[in-house]
């Protein structure tokens, strides 16, 4: 299972939200590049970089931060937040992202997301499935849709999507454990999906649970910044199994 540390960006700073509420913002570092370098220095190889300004603005905003991290570290970066148009996606890849995560556009304009899958290939596009009260949430979790997760994933896996980041918004930033039952149900229904769990991880035992469920990856954010899990522990866990 891949260990994927997260950096969420607002106003150029490394922040975390609680349950997607922008008003519940905590700033952890003024320079996301320095945080990314600390992840790389600990032997981690992946990064989940989220442009929260872009998610709210409905277009990519913090692409220069992506560019700095991509050019000054060897981290494999997936970038999400504000990827709503062909130009947004082009900017993300030209700025150094290895993958782009698209969630809102997959809900509001599935045909466009499917065209991207055809053009770039499923290895370059990650489907974002953010769930709020059982329904897909969009635009930085500020809006809800009527899409349930099963219909949403069916629509896009039938079109070729292979990798999914699933976040239970209720768990995100709360350090109360991941939504294991949700992930179990998804993997039972879509056994071939590369499922990346996001939200709620607070301990190595949480990561072990996700590994045993068969998750392809796990995103960790607040647990790192609040000192619940050290980078040394994450590196050991990564290479222990």
**pLDDT tens-digit readout, 45-90:** 999 999 999 988 999 999 999 999 999 999 999 999 999 999 999 9
In order of 33, 69, 235, the CA distances from 76 in angstroms are 14, 10, 16
CA separation for the pair 208, 200 (Å, rounded): 13
> Average model confidence (pLDDT) for the chain?
92
Q: Which domain holds residue 35?
A: 2-240
Task: Quote the percentage of the chain above a pLDDT of 90.
Answer: 79
| CA–CA distance, 145 with 23 (Å, rounded to integer) | 22
Active site residue 8: yes
Number of structural domains in the chain: 1
What's the pLDDT score for residue 137? Answer: 80
CA distance 130 to 104: 9
Indicate which CATH number applies to the domain containing 37. Answer: 3.20.20.70
Catalytic residue among 130, 168, 172, 206: 130
Q: Record the tokens describing residue 184, joined without a space.
A: 């179990």
Of 165, 167, 175, 168, nearest to 225 (Cα)?
175
Which of 29, 93, 34, 32 shows the shortest CA–CA distance to 60?
A: 93
Does 168 qualify as catalytic in the annotation? no
Q: What is the pLDDT of residues 12-43, one digit of tens each?
A: 999 987 666 677 789 999 999 999 999 999 99
């Amino acid at each position: 299972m891949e260990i994927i540390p997260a950096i969420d960006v607002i106003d150029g700073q490394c922040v975390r939200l609680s349950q997607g509420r922008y008003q519940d913002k905590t700033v952890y570092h003024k320079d996301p590049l320095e945080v990314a370098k600390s992840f790389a220095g600990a032997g981690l190889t992946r990064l989940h970089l989220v442009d929260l300004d872009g998610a709210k603005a409905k277009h990519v905003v913090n692409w220069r931060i992506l560019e700095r991290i991509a050019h000054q570290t060897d981290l494999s970066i997936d970038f999400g937040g504000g990827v709503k148009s062909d130009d947004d996606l082009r900017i993300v890849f030209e700025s150094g992202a290895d993958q782009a995560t698209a969630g809102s556009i997959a809900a509001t304009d599935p045909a466009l997301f499917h065209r991207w899958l055809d053009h770039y290939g499923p290895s370059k596009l990650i489907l974002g499935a953010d769930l709020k009260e059982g329904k897909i949430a969009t635009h930085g979790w500020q809006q809800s849709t009527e899409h349930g997760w099963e219909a949403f994933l069916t629509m896009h896996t039938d079109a070729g999507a292979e990798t999914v980041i699933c976040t239970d918004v209720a768990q995100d930033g709360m350090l109360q454990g991941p939504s294991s039952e949700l992930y179990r149900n998804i993997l039972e229904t879509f056994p071939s999906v590369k499922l990346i769990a996001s939200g709620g991880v607070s301990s190595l035992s949480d990561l072990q649970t996700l590994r045993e469920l068969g998750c392809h990856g796990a995103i960790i954010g607040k647990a790192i910044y609040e000192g619940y899990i050290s980078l040394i522990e994450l590196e050991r866990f990564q290479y222990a199994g």
